[in-house]
Amino acid sequence: MSNRALGNRAAAAAIIPAFKAWMGTLQARVLYEEPAVDPAFPDCEGPNLYVFWHEYILLPFYMRGHCNLTMLLSRHRDADLLSQAAKKMGFDFVRGSTRRGGLEAIRGMMAAGKTHHLTITPDGPRGPRRCMAPGAIYLASRLNMPIVAMGVGYHRPWRLKSWDRFAVPRPFSRARTVTSRAWRIPRDLDREGVEEYRRRLEIELNRLTDKAERWASEGTHIPGERPFRRRSADRPPVPVSRMVTSEDESCAGVSPSDVGCHDVLCDLHQKARKMTA
C-alpha cells in the first residue's frame, strides 16, 4: 500500500469520529410520503435510486450507512479519501475511469444496481446548482429502477463559497428531510422521455428541498413527521466495491457508443445530456 493510501486511510479514521459526533447533535426529523422507500426499513422495496442535491450530502451520508447503498466515485486520486470515508461509514462504491467515456462507471453502477440501492447527486459534481442532469433518469430507465427524491434542509447552516453553496449544519440545530414516493421510470426511454422525466424530477426535488428548508427554518410540527435516526438495514449488505474494468461482463449489451462522458460522477449526466441535446 502506498504512502498516499495509508495517509488517506489514517485521515478518514481521524475525521469520521468527529463527523459522527458533530452530526449526532442535530435535531433531525423526517416526513415520508411513502415510508417503505427508506433503505433502513425491513419492508423497503427496491433496489431504488436515491437523489438529493449535492449541497446536502452530509445528512444522508451520516444517516444511512450500512443500508446496501452504492455510491459512484471517480478513479482520480482526489476521490481516494472520500472512498475511505465512504467505506468507514458503511457505503459501498463503484470506481470508474475518467478516460474511457464513462463505460466502466455505467457498467459498475448497472452491476451494483442488481443487488444494491444506488445514490447520485444529480447536480454534482460541478453544477449548475439544483439543476438536475439527466444521468439519473437514464440509469433508472436502463435498470428499470424507481427513483426516490430526498429534500433536505438545515436551520441557519453555514454555507461554503462553492458552486453549490455547500451546507454545513450548525451543532444542535434542526435538520429536516422530506422524501418522495418511489417514481417509476419507464424502461428504455428515448431522448424525449428522458428529458420529460428529468424536468419532472427536478421540479419534485426542488419542491421537497424547499419544503424541508422551510420546515427546518420555522421549526413547526407537520402531521406524520417522525424522528430521523441513524440506523442500518436489518439485512447485511452485499459487497460490490471494486474497480470496474472494460472487460467486465456484468452489464452485457453496454457498448462504448452507449456513453459519452468525460468525468465520473458526471458520466451518467453527460451521457443523458447528449441524448437530450
- The answer as to whether 230 is a domain residue is yes
Residue 234, domain extent: 24-276
Prediction pTM value = 0.82
- The answer as to whether 93 is a domain residue is yes
- The answer as to whether 1 is a domain residue is no
**Are the CB atoms for 117 and 69 separated by under 8 Å?**
yes
**Are the CB atoms for 178 and 151 separated by under 8 Å?**
yes
Q: How far apart are CA 82 and CA 225, in angstroms?
A: 32
- The answer as to whether 2 is a domain residue is no
Confidence of residue 249 (pLDDT cuts 50, 70, 90): very low
Q: Which residue has the cell 422530506?
A: 178
**Are the CB atoms for 16 and 90 separated by under 8 Å?**
no
Q: How many CB atoms lie within 10 A of CB 191?
A: 14
Most confident of 101-115, 218-232, 236-250: 218-232
At residue 271, the pLDDT reads 46
- The answer as to whether 33 is a domain residue is yes
At residue 81, the pLDDT reads 78
* More confident call, 33 vs 45: 33
At residue 3, the pLDDT reads 66
Confidence of residue 260 (pLDDT cuts 50, 70, 90): very low
Q: How many domains does the chain have?
A: 1
At residue 1, the pLDDT reads 59
- The answer as to whether 76 is a domain residue is yes
**Are the CB atoms for 21 and 119 separated by under 8 Å?**
no
Residues 6+ apart with CB under 8 A from 47: 68, 113, 114, 115, 116, 117, 118, 145
At residue 252, the pLDDT reads 42
Average pLDDT over residues 164-189: 97
Q: How far apart are CA 60 and CA 109, in angstroms?
A: 19
- The answer as to whether 197 is a domain residue is yes
Average pLDDT over residues 236-244: 40
Give the lowest-confidence range in 27-36, 119-128, 152-161: 119-128
- The answer as to whether 3 is a domain residue is no
Distances in Å between the Cα of 172 and the Cα atoms of 22, 58, 78, 129, 267 are 8, 15, 31, 27, 37
